[in-house]
Structure 1
Amino acid sequence: MPQIKIVLLTVVPLLFAFSQNVFAWQFTYTPIDAPGAMVTALAGINNAGQMVGGSASPGQAFVASGGTFTPLAYPGAASTGVLDINNHGHVVGTYYYYDGSNPAQGFRYDGTS
């Protein structure tokens, strides 16, 4: 009986050690690059595959859908940042006026206003 325990304690861990790839998750990565930008960062994605994010050089917020990037800028603001998008396509984010008169404000964009 002790020999069976020794065999089990030796063989079973070896089986798991060599079978890690069988249980490994497989992922597919897709690069997302805003046209002409040096840096692209994503902040959210919804079930329809619409994504929101921002880019640097040029710096702008965007909504991306089906390979099309639509810039998103709060009217009159010096800077707009997006945080997330829901399954209805509503985007939430922040905007700033760099004149010192207003702190950061939040917004919700529903696709038209």
Structure 2
Amino acid sequence: MTYVFSPVDVPGAVASWGYGLNGQAQVVGGYRDAAGHGHGFLLADGRITTLDVPGAGSTTASGINASGQIVGSYQDAAGVGHGFLYENGRFTRIDAPGATDTYLDDINDSGEIVGAAAIPAGHSIRQEVFRAAGGRFTTVSLPGFVDRPSTAPGGTYMFAAGINNHGEIGVNVKMAPGASSFNMAFIVAGDGSATSLAPPADAFRPLSITALDDQRDVVGSYGLTPPHAFVERQGVITDITTASGARPGVNDINNAGWIVGSATGSDGQNHAFLASPA
């Protein structure tokens, strides 16, 4: 499978990243301006809108659903991370209970949100993945993984990697330094059951996914140096490169197979793109 790449040109951006898209190919992401400040953006109907949480030091938009609800994260003046929901022109702050920092990753068409939270655990921090709906937060657990701080022996970092319209969540697990296991990726169903994802057959390196669609097609990366972006759609794995030969990062996929991400340009900076199957 090949893709047709279109740049997402954000006015005033030195660098940009595409993080999420919906079925209408509306794109959200983040960009950095010449002063080094971080902003979120929305691309809809050919027009780009900057998204800045009032008073935030930086803002990033990471997910958008069919209704145009947008989730993302921002840092306040003290450098603390918070999640946000943006709809009807208004920002609503979202913090996971007990978290020192909250980061939202995605939202599905039912309004279910997935994200990650840093939870104090003694003198350490435990990073958990959660789902949230109607103000209720539920921790996402993986069978067989000990719930320990990420700095402890056998501990883990857990990262959210999208939620589809069936409520299935992508989860990445990064083992603590010194652990024998590589990074792993899972799809966790609404009932808590988890399916482990294996990297492409020729890759025994770490695997990380960034999103999944309603058919459980996934995008992500595998390998170490440099990591290879891939799309797995209907069981077929495609290694992704741009027309210029650059290896991009792919961050989301919709049910039509469109993908969004960023790639390094000739200026050495990351630039957001939207790509459709050829």
- 1:106 counterpart = 2:129: yes
- 1:41 counterpart = 2:60: yes
Greater C-alpha radius of gyration: 1
Match of 2:88 in 1: 66
Q: Which amino acid aligns with 1:63?
A: L
Match of 2:105 in 1: 83
TM-score by length of 2: 0.30
Q: Which amino acid aligns with 1:27?
A: G
Q: Which amino acid aligns with 1:77?
A: A
Hey, which of these two has a bigger chunk of strand by percent? 2
How far residue 65 of structure 1 moved from its aligned partner, in angstroms, is 0.7
Structure 1 pair 112/97, CA: closer, same or farther in 2 (3 Å)? Answer: closer
Q: Distance in 2 between matches of 1:81 and 1:52?
A: 9
**How many pairs align?**
88
How far residue 101 of structure 1 moved from its aligned partner, in angstroms, is 5.2
Percentage identity across paired residues of the two chains: 36
How far residue 45 of structure 1 moved from its aligned partner, in angstroms, is 0.4
Q: Which amino acid aligns with 1:107?
A: F
Give the unaligned 5+ runs of structure 2. Answer: 1-44, 137-278
Residue 76 of structure 2 is aligned with which of 45, 57, 73?
57
Match of 1:31 in 2: 50
Structure 1 pair 105/65, CA: closer, same or farther in 2 (3 Å)? Answer: same
How far residue 61 of structure 1 moved from its aligned partner, in angstroms, is 0.9
Give the unaligned 5+ runs of structure 1. Answer: 1-25
Structure 1 pair 103/36, CA: closer, same or farther in 2 (3 Å)? Answer: same
CA RMSD of aligned residues (A): 1.8
Q: Which amino acid aligns with 2:132?
A: Y
Q: Which amino acid aligns with 2:134?
A: G
Match of 1:9 in 2: none
- Larger CA deviation: 70-79 vs 97-106: 97-106
1:9-55 deviation per Cα after TM superposition (whole angstroms, max 9, x unaligned): xxxxxxxxxxxxxxxxx821111111111321001000111000011
